[in-house]
Amino acid sequence: MERRQWENDRQTRARIRKSWEYEYAAYTQNITRLSTERDKMKREWEAEHHRLVKLREDFSRERQEYEMERRKWENDRQKHDDEERERQRGMIQWGSLRKDKEPCISYGTARYQAYLEYTPPGWDTYTACKETPMNIHGREVLPTECRRVGSEMVGVWIIDFDEPSCKPWWRDTKDHGCTSRQSGIHRYEAHLEGYLEPNEYKVYWAELCDTTPHAMFGHTYKSPTECAYWPKIGVYGFWDVPDEYCR
């Protein structure tokens, strides 16, 4: 009886073991299959990743090449436009340069003007005026101002170099003594010479007077204290100089 029971138990255990071994084999097979599929998916993902990376690199390279080509094209076009503009600029013509009737506007500074005689088609006359120099005293000088007079464009130049005719001087310095008792101020007077006749001043006599220096007693004064103009006798400057002897 006991032997039969033992045999039954042994057979039961054998069936259980066989079933477990079958399930384990199936599990192992499934794990192997899943591992194989995972490795395959990983390889496929890596291949796809490499493909996408290459596509991105190719796109980036093509974009850089496109940008380089575009910049080169823009540079070539700009160079061509600049060359064409310079060619046209060389066609712009100024009329004769002339001084005003009262040319000197301050000490060493003269005012000139000229009419713009020719501008190439498509050019704005104001731009042509502002960008086209005139040779003055051996220098290429752009206009100080451009203004329209009727239907014409006029360039104006304010020239503060090589203008000896705009450098008058003071002469006949007169001593007027102390301005008043205990004022501490000594007044001097001088006549502006070397430019226009007394009755020829129209506009800039005050500017010339105010900017013409005068050397007195070892000191150079940049401008008078006051200026005055009388058509019959000319321009006069007055200097109020501190003086202890006037106290």
Note whether 147 and 113 are within 8 A (CB).
Answer: no
Report pLDDT for 94: 96
Residue whose pair of structure tokens reads 């009727």 in the numeric block: 150
10-residue stretch averages of pLDDT, the chain, 247 residues long: 70 78 81 85 88 89 91 90 84 92 91 95 92 95 96 96 95 92 92 84 89 93 94 93 90
Instruction: Write the DSSP assignment of 125-142 as a string of letters.
Output: HHHHHHH--EEETTEEE-
Report pLDDT for 209: 94
Note whether 138 and 159 are within 8 A (CB).
Answer: no
Report pLDDT for 235: 94
Report pLDDT for 182: 85
DSSP state, residue 235: E
Question: For residues 116 and 134, what is the distance between their CA atoms, to the nearest angstrom?
Answer: 11
Report pLDDT for 191: 95
pLDDT tens for residues 108-149?
A: 999 999 999 999 998 899 999 999 999 999 999 999 999 999
Q: Say what the pTM is.
A: 0.67
Report pLDDT for 1: 64
Residue whose pair of structure tokens reads 């004064």 in the numeric block: 221
Query: Could you tell me which residues come within 8 angstroms of residue 136 by beta carbon, excluding any fewer than 6 positions away?
Result: 97, 112, 157, 159
Provide the percentage of residues in the chain whose pLDDT is more than 90. 54
